């Protein structure tokens, strides 16, 4: 029996020497050292020996068991340390390697222009305001001195909303310009007014220089003793801030129903410097004789003030309304051949700005 035990112990130590993983070691422990192991079965046979033999064989058995246990513990320690090392090697992090920056988006070109325009006017005391982009005919036309049957309305290629009419304010429209904000601002009854209303506008139009949804910024100043020179000063200020220090505006007589007098505002061309000619005498291709057309402006018509319940004998003011897309397309460095590309969400275009 003693021999048997010794053989078994030897076989177990040999087997342990060949164990390569902690998982193998675990099954070894269950099979060979557990309660149901062969070794244990032999130990149970000790009871059938003579007291003499039981003592010597028992002592030998204990020693063998301890030897196997020691070999087992040594193996376990060895495997644990190498597996921890392997793990550490595999998961080593080099903290000195530069990080990977996640891709970062940026504001749309139009949003960037809106922020810039807002900031320029804020510095001279104009507050950015918001008014509805779906509004009543009254605010979009009627209160702006454009009666229902007036042909001037044709210019605005309006989308009408299929909604019940308001008995006083008429039909509902998608605002075709930001001028609807004028009388709405007057209704707040806070004078003087210095507002800049920037919003989406909608017209039935689409080609290289028009989109059905675009943006305008509308300036309105109402105060006492306001003259055209104030308007010109504000427009020149904007032109210098937005386009560059050497740019100026000019006012060309025009006609709008809601201003009197009315103007079209031009800005000196940034390519030919306002001369209309390039070096060598060729005609500038960007402008018309040195000027680019920016948008409309004028002195607020007394009828518009009356619609806003403001006394035109006491108060006066100026207004202007320009397209954001158009204005930014005229800034040098931004080349937009086809304005529709702004709203096609094509990253190849948008990523450039
Ligand atoms: N609302 C006009 C348009 O969309 C632009 C305009 C012209 C606005 C003259 C004004 C103004 O405030 O005074 O064409």
Q: Is 296 helix (H, G, I), strand (E, B) or coil?
A: strand
pLDDT at 181: 98
* pLDDT over 80 at 285, yes or no: no
Average pLDDT of span 18-45? 86
Residue 317 contacts residue 193 (beta carbons within 8 Å) = yes
More confident residue, 174 or 104: 174
Is any atom of ligand 1 closer than 6 Å to the C-beta of 263? no
Confidence of residue 271 (pLDDT cuts 50, 70, 90): confident
Question: Ligand 1, residues 129, 220, 221, 295: which to mutate, most atoms within 8 A of Cβ?
Answer: 295
- List, for residues 73-122, the tens digit of each pLDDT value: 988 888 888 888 788 888 888 889 898 999 889 999 999 999 999 999 99
Provide the mean pLDDT of the chain: 92
Distance CA 207, CA 338 (A): 8
How far does residue 323's CA lie from ligand 1's centre (Å)?
10
Residue 129, Cβ neighbours under 10 Å: how many? 18
CA of 321 to the centre of ligand 1 (A): 4
pLDDT tops 80 at residue 335: no
Enumerate the H helices of the chain as residue ranges.
2-18, 22-28, 38-44, 51-90, 109-122, 137-140, 180-186, 228-243, 302-307, 324-329, 347-350
- Per-residue pLDDT band at 170 (split at 50, 70, 90): very high
Does 352 have pLDDT greater than 90?
no
How far apart are alpha carbons 297 and 319 in whole angstroms?
A: 6
Helices 51-90 and 2-18, axial angle in degrees (round to 10): 0
Average pLDDT rounded to a whole number, residues 210-227: 97
Is residue 317 within 6 Å of ligand 1 at its C-beta? no
Predicted pLDDT of residue 332: 63
Residue 60 pLDDT greater than 90, yes or no: no
Q: Which of 153, 199, 299, 320 to mutate to test the pocket of ligand 1 (most atoms within 8 A of CB)?
A: 320
Average pLDDT over residues 267-290: 85
- 334 band by pLDDT with thresholds 50, 70 and 90: low
Q: Which of 323, 119, 327, 112 is nearest to 215 (CA)?
A: 323
Label residue 51 by pLDDT band (50, 70, 90). Answer: confident
Residue 47 has pLDDT above 90, yes or no: no
Q: State the closest ligand 1 atom to the C-alpha of 155, by its place in the atom list counted from 1.
A: 14
For the cut 90, the answer to whether the pLDDT of residue 336 exceeds it is no
C-alpha span between 174 and 133 (Å, rounded):
6
Atom of ligand 1 nearest to the CA of 263: 9
- Out of 186, 216, 321, give the residue to mutate to test ligand 1, the one with the largest number of ligand atoms within 8 Å of its CB: 321
CA 18 – CA 22 distance, rounded (Å): 12
Q: Which tokens belong to 202?
A: 């909608």
Confidence at residue 114, expressed as pLDDT on a 0 to 100 scale: 97
CA of 157 to the centre of ligand 1 (A): 14
**Phi-psi category of 192—alpha, beta or left, where left has phi over 0 and alpha has psi -120 to 50?**
beta
Q: Percent of the chain beyond pLDDT 70?
A: 99
Question: pLDDT at position 21, please?
Answer: 86
Q: Is the CB of 268 under 6 A from ligand 1?
A: no
What pLDDT is recorded for position 333? 61
Is the minimum distance from the CB of 323 to ligand 1 under 6 angstroms? Answer: no
Mean predicted confidence (pLDDT) in 226-255 = 96
Q: Whose CA is nearest to atom 8 of ligand 1?
A: 321
* Spatial contact of 110 and 342, defined as CB atoms under 8 Å apart: yes
> Residue 226: pLDDT above 80?
yes
pLDDT on residue 188 = 95
259 CA from centroid of ligand 1 (Å): 8
Question: Is the beta carbon of 259 within 6 A of some atom in ligand 1?
Answer: yes
Query: Which atom of ligand 1 has the smallest separation from the CA of 201?
Result: 4
Task: Name which residue sits closest to atom 7 of ligand 1, judged by CA.
Answer: 296
Mutate to test the pocket of ligand 1, among 135, 180, 231, 256 (most ligand atoms within 8 A of CB): 256
Structure tokens at 29: 């422990």
pLDDT at 16 over 90: no
């Amino acid at each position: 029996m003693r021999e048997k035990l010794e053989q078994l112990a030897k076989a177990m130590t040999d087997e342990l020497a060949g164990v390569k993983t902690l998982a193998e070691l675990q099954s070894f422990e269950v099979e060979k050292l557990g309660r149901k192991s062969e070794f244990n079965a032999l130990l149970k046979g000790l009871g059938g020996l003579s007291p003499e033999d039981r003592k010597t064989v028992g002592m030998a058995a204990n020693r063998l068991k301890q030897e196997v246990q020691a070999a087992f513990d040594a193996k376990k320690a060895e495997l644990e340390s190498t597996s921890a090392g392997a793990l550490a090697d595999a998961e080593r992090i080099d903290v000195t390697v530069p990080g990977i920056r996640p891709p970062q988006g940026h504001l749309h070109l139009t949003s960037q222009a809106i922020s810039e325009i807002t900031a320029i006017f804020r510095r001279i005391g104009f507050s950015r305001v918001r008014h509805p982009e779906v509004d009543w005919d009254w605010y979009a036309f009627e209160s702006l001195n454009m009666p229902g049957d007036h042909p001037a309305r044709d210019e605005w290629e309006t989308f009408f909303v299929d909604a019940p009419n308001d008995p006083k304010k008429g039909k509902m429209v998608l605002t075709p310009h930001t001028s609807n904000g004028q009388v709405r601002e007057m209704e707040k009854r806070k004078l003087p007014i210095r507002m800049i209303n920037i919003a989406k506008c909608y017209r039935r139009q689409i080609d290289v220089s028009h989109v059905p949804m675009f943006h305008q910024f509308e300036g309105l100043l109402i105060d006492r003793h306001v003259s055209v020179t104030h308007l010109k000063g504000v427009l020149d200020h904007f032109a210098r801030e937005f386009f560059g220090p050497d740019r100026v505006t000019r006012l060309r007589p025009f006609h709008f129903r809601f201003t009197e007098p009315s103007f079209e505002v031009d800005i000196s061309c940034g390519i030919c410097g306002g001369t209309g000619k390039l070096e060598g005498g060729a005609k500038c291709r960007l402008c018309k004789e040195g000027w680019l057309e920016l948008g409309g402006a004028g002195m607020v018509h007394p009828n518009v003030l009356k619609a806003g319940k403001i006394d035109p004998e006491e108060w006066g003011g100026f207004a202007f309304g320009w397209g954001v897309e158009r204005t930014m397309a005229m800034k040098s460095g931004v080349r937009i051949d086809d304005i529709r590309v702004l709203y096609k969400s094509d990253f190849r275009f948008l990523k450039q700005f």
